[in-house]
Amino acid sequence: MTVAKLELSTDPALKLDADSSSGAKLSPRAELARRALYYMSLMREAEDRIERKLYRQGKILGGVYVGRGQEAIPVGAGLAARPEDVLFPSHRDLALYFMRGISLREVFAQYMGRAAGLTRGRDGNMHMGDLRKRIVAIISAMAASVPVAAGAAMALKYQGKDDVVFVFFGDGATSRGDWHEGINLAAVQKAPLVLLCNNNQYAYSTPLDKQMACANVADRAPGYGIPAEIADGNDPLAVYDACERAAAHARSGNGPYLIECKTFRMTGHSAHDPADYVPKELFELWEQRCPIRRVERRLLDEGWDSPAAIEAVHARVRREIDEAIEWAENSPYPDPSELLDGVFERKES
């Protein structure tokens, strides 16, 4: 078999240092905050274009799900993950793709159903992955990725590696049997699995108290004999720290570790959903906790960056996205003659 060759990406955010106003060497914490800002800004802006512009213009079809307000979770985790670690994003973790070096062009082409998209038009929107970059495509059935991630983690252990697997899901997914089966299997196998829940308090229109009778997703962990912690899901550095602890636990052979990131979904379930069922006050409350504003404040308060430098990050993001959208819009659709290809391996006969 052709095992996909690992292509480790160069982190585009590192380029920020060159762009930034101060040439002085930054503390590791400041570095993290800067990279977090870049990727959160990139995710927010890309998803705003997708959800609020291109979808409404009819240029993007199908289901559109975004992680508005939850950017700190994929970004914090993505910063903690090593390049060889395997990622299983949920439908609200777009930043992970960028952090693995998947280009904006590929992502917008994917959303527009173009041949240059990650799935060549075979699947749509956030349903994408690339094994060479160790990022596994979303499985549409909620929580189905947990057993698969458990198996990937078992394989890493089998191979004697100290890499770990990160699997992402929402609060609603934790009601499915697959979630429980996957964690239980990983727990008895002591497989190196980091479980990241974005508890955004709604699953589609269903609030948490109709989803589960315990107060926290973390409360489910003791039933599997694994540790869990609750993290501030709107602070990328808090998520990063929790992931570091979780990954260290998993890397040293202790098995899975669950992180529940408390956050809020700052939009509808998908682009067609006005979310009338969410009380306005909740949106207002959580707007105050916007992870992007928070990291900006931190950068300023600590004296790590100037307002101008922060604005430069957003400007750069907008520029990159403008360019990628234009490129994707002008890229070709897949050729229908390829319809039958790729169901099975093509054998030379």
In the list ligand TPP, another protein, none, the entry touching 151 (Cβ below 5 to 8 angstroms by class) is another protein
- Active-site annotation holds for 176: no
Q: Which parts of 40-99 interact with ligand TPP (CB under 6 A)?
A: 90, 92
What does the DSSP 8-state code read for residue 268?
-
Give dist(CA 295, CA 187) in Å, integer.
35
User: Does 125 help bind ligand TPP (rule: CB under 6 A)?
Assistant: no
* Long-range contact pairs involving 295-301 (C-beta distance under 8 Å, separation at least 24): 295/33, 295/36, 295/37, 295/40, 295/72, 295/235, 295/236, 295/237, 296/37, 298/33, 298/237, 299/30, 299/33, 299/34, 299/37
For another protein, the closer CB: 101 or 129: 129
User: Does 128 help bind another protein (rule: CB under 8 A)?
Assistant: yes
Query: By the 8 A CB rule, do 82 and 161 touch?
Result: no
For ligand TPP, the closer CB: 105 or 220: 220
β-bridge partners, 230: 260
Per-position DSSP letters for 45-63, written without gaps between them: HHHHIIIIIITTTTSS-S-
User: Does 177 help bind another protein (rule: CB under 8 A)?
Assistant: yes
Catalytic one of 29, 56, 277, 319: 277
Provide the 3-class DSSP secondary structure of residue 30. Answer: helix
List 274, 308, 344, 348, residue binding another protein (CB under 8 A): 344
Give dist(CA 300, CA 345) in Å, integer.
54
User: Does 200 help bind ligand TPP (rule: CB under 6 A)?
Assistant: yes
List 99, 107, 118, 246, residue binding another protein (CB under 8 A): 118
For another protein, the closer CB: 184 or 201: 184
Q: Which residues bind another protein (CB under 8 A)?
A: 1-4, 86, 118-120, 122-123, 127-131, 136-137, 139-141, 144-156, 158-159, 165, 177-178, 181-182, 184-185, 188-189, 342-345
Active site residues: 265, 269, 277
